[in-house]
Amino acid sequence: DTGVSQDPRHKITKRGQNVTFRCDPISEHNRLYWYRQTLGQGPEFLTYFQNEAQLEKSRLLSDRFSAERPKGSFSTLEIQRTEQGDSAMYLCASSLIVGQINEKLFFGSGTQLSVL
Amino acid sequence: AQKITQTQPGMFVQEKEAVTLDCTYDTSDPSYGLFWYKQPSSGEMIFLIYQGSYDQQNATEGRYSLNFQKARKSANLVISASQLGDSAMYFCAMREQGAQKLVFGQGTRLTINP
């Protein structure tokens, strides 16, 4: 069990640029989540995948955001035309127990995005 | 809509003392689960403890216990014999039956003083 891995750990970009983050979940975990966390707040749900299917997207996920999980393993989150308001920690989580109320999420260390 | 409230932005405790972190929640669903996560400065959210709405007993995991008061809609985390390594952000979270996402509170920053 190598844990959830996220890359990069930090990303600094200029407003208007595109950025892409990667998440490698724990192997055999078939559910993958993306959350966003701003300073002093708890994580907010963005989207989740079950295998390669994206099953739910939050209203927070504007059309500048896109997430993929092409083979049901790693996932990418892309933000196009970044804005200063996109500055946040982007957390990825995975889980194995699916569809049960006690489903426990395993989180990565996050990607800290700073938009200048 | 489900909502989690953590009213303590920061807590300061002496090492080896017990500490209680408050969490209240709001839901109209009779079936739900409550979680506590720890987030050290490294950023990773670490699962601590889980309590189901129908569980008869309060959950315990080592030094962590959950003081679940269903009628008051509270799920406070109790850490016994605090250690310096317990210094971190602590988040309460809830999932309703049939929902896939966890909804988090704003967190409490716990600082353990030597």
If we measure between CA atoms, which residue out of B28, B47, B31 comes closest to residue B93?
B47
- Of the candidates A33, A44, A108, the beta carbon closest to that of B44 is on A108
| Cross-chain CB nearest to A91 (options B4, B45, B105) | B45
Question: Which residues fall within 8 angstroms of residue B63, CB to CB, at 6 or more apart?
Answer: B79, B80, B81
pLDDT (0 to 100) of residue B100: 82
How far is the alpha carbon of B82 from chain A, nearest alpha carbon, in Å?
A: 23
pLDDT tens, position by position, B92-101: 999 998 788 8
**Which pLDDT score, from 0 to 100, does residue A87 have?**
97
| pLDDT for res A96 | 86
Decide if A105 and B43 are in contact by the 8 Å CB cutoff.
no
- When pLDDT is cut at 50, 70 and 90, the band that residue B10 belongs to is very high
pLDDT band, residue A99 (cuts 50/70/90): low
Q: Is B41 on the interface with A (CB under 8 A)?
A: no
Q: Flag if B4 and A42 touch (Cβ within 8 Å).
A: yes
CA of residue A103 relative to chain centroid, distance: 18
